[in-house]
Amino acid sequence: MTLNEIVRACRGSFGYPADIEITEISADTRTIRPGSVFIALKGERYDGNDFALEAMEKGAYAVICERPIPGAKCIIVDDIRLSMLLLAESYRRSFPVRLAAVTGSVGKTTVTNMLGNILSLEGKTLVTEENRHDETGMPLTLFKLDAGFKNAVVEMGITPKSGVSALSVAAAPDIAVITNIGYSHFESYGSLENILKAKMEILDGADYSSPLVLNFDDKLLSGVTPRGERRVVFYSVKDRKADVFADSIKTENEKVSFNINYNGEKFHVTLNCMGKHNVSNALGAFAAAVTMGVSSENAVKGIEMYVPDGYRQQFVKTKSCRVLTDLSNFSPEAVKAAVDIIKNCEVGEGGRRIAVLADMPALGKKSSALHRSVGESLEKSGIDILYCIDSHAEGYIQGAVKKGHDENKARLFDSSKELAKALEETVRPEDVVLLKCRREYTPLEILAELDK
């Protein structure tokens, strides 16, 4: 894009010559190259304006910002986040890639990565990185597009100001996937029906005939009916009425295998991870891929390439024990899915299953009831010891004890230091520990303690 096009797209004001080609758009001074444009984003702990001059020194031609910065050539905008979305919308339309958009309360990152693996077998594919699925992260993903890309898979979360709609309009997806409707963001939206409406906004930027892929096992999504000529493709872990469904699910050696049934054929799959929820994620990626015209064989091959990363349901062997780390997504559905994995983990002779659970945020008036509900579900999980952190997590213990868990084997901690000390004193080499903690509770430090 030319700088003139960028200024017009983001509705900015710029008082310098602008008939120049721009090589890159970035919000990170570490990646700034000559001829690029720097976006001065502001966050809770940083102000991009403080790095504007550094960006100029490294070769940036201009800085997008909300106020003049002495010494920098500034494209002044009223709202930098809105301007990023407008710019991303214009930039995306410069490249005729096949773009898939993925949203949902749980599983959207896994489906995004699986589908990215599949599409990469057929050409260069851009995939959302590092959970960049909000109104600033998604534009930064789209700004990485170039003429060499054939496909893109973009993850979309609910943003505080604009739901999913603005992200969809900017990305203009050719196909959309919704994994499920859960209690994430319940505090803001007040009901699952409202969350469904927000997730359905993923279609706002799509063509009226663009396909929609939905999880048939979700009660709300299974009731969605298409409008006009839109094709809806359903997938299911258990219901044979779905277009794509699974059977013969088996867990062994920290892997899960199953058959994908599609169009009268069966395709055997072995995943490098565990959990029935990941079978569902694989079905969603497969359904999207074949709907996009990918062969079933390549869809299976791409799914089997998937390996969890970033402490997202990863097994770590420490000197003290084996740990399943899961530091992402703290909705009731995600916590239950993580517990379901440890239930199927093998332990050594005399070994125990220990669950370390942090509380679930943003559940509003449903918080206490949902924490207790998750605790009650632990009855069938085979959890021997339950450690929880944060006062809201006491609901886990209340629910578990109500269903028969030994109250002497359940503890609530106020700090990660106390928790780490208790784990050191408790764990044995034969044990397996689920570490389902948010990063503010320093789970990596707890992991390091177990490895001493």
Q: Which amino acid is at 180?
A: N
Contact between residue 165 and residue 101 where contact means Cβ atoms under 8 Å apart: no
Return the pLDDT at 226. Answer: 75
Domain boundary among 288, 304, 320: 304
More confident residue, 357 or 438: 357
Are residues 103 and 178 part of one domain?
A: yes
Confidence of residue 337 (pLDDT cuts 50, 70, 90): very high
Helix (H) or strand (E) run with residue 413 in it: strand 410-413
> What does the pLDDT look like over 35-79, one tens digit per residue?
999 999 988 788 999 999 999 999 999 999 999 999 999 999 999
Are residues 251 and 116 part of one domain?
A: yes
Mean pLDDT, rounded, of the chain: 94
Other CB atoms within a 10 A radius of the CB of residue 154 amount to: 26
Are residues 45 and 16 part of one domain?
A: yes
Residues 164-172 have a mean pLDDT of: 96
Residues 236-245 have a mean pLDDT of: 97
Domain boundary among 38, 62, 78: 78
Give the integer Cα–Cα distance in Å for 97 and 176. Answer: 14
Are residues 171 and 46 part of one domain?
A: no
Are residues 240 and 176 part of one domain?
A: yes
Are residues 119 and 230 part of one domain?
A: yes
Confidence of residue 151 (pLDDT cuts 50, 70, 90): very high
Give the integer Cα–Cα distance in Å for 378 and 384. Answer: 10
CA 137 to chain centre: 12
CATH of the domain at 357: 3.90.190.20
Would the pLDDT of 132 be above 90? Answer: no
Place of tokens 């603005």: 166
Q: For the chain, what percent of residues have pLDDT higher than 70?
A: 99
Are residues 99 and 231 part of one domain?
A: yes
Are residues 377 and 275 part of one domain?
A: no
Q: Are strands 175-178 and 212-215 parallel, antiparallel or unpaired?
A: parallel
Token pair for residue 406?
Answer: 């030994």
Token pair for residue 278?
Answer: 């990941």
Are residues 268 and 169 part of one domain?
A: yes
pTM above 0.75, yes or no: yes
Would the pLDDT of 360 be above 90? Answer: yes
> What does the pLDDT look like over 310-326, one tens digit per residue?
788 889 999 999 999 99
Are residues 425 and 323 part of one domain?
A: yes
Q: Are strands 244-252 and 232-236 parallel, antiparallel or unpaired?
A: parallel
Domain boundary among 304, 332, 356: 304
Q: For the chain, what percent of residues have pLDDT higher than 90?
A: 86
CATH of the domain at 245: 3.40.1190.10
CATH of the domain at 18: 3.40.1390.10
Are residues 293 and 392 part of one domain?
A: no
Question: Considering its fold, how many domains does the chain have in total?
Answer: 3
Residues 162-169 have a mean pLDDT of: 89
Q: Which long-range contacts (CB under 8 A, 24 or more apart) does 310-317 make?
A: 310/130, 311/443, 311/444, 312/109, 312/110, 313/273, 313/274, 313/275, 313/278, 313/338, 313/341, 315/254, 316/447
Confidence of residue 162 (pLDDT cuts 50, 70, 90): low
Would the pLDDT of 435 be above 90? Answer: yes
Are residues 89 and 73 part of one domain?
A: no
Domain of residue 211 covers 85-304
Return the pLDDT at 227. Answer: 75
End-to-end CA distance of the chain: 53
Place of tokens 């196909």: 175
> What does the pLDDT look like over 193-223, one tens digit per residue?
999 999 999 999 999 999 999 999 999 999 9
Give the integer Cα–Cα distance in Å for 25 and 90. Answer: 13
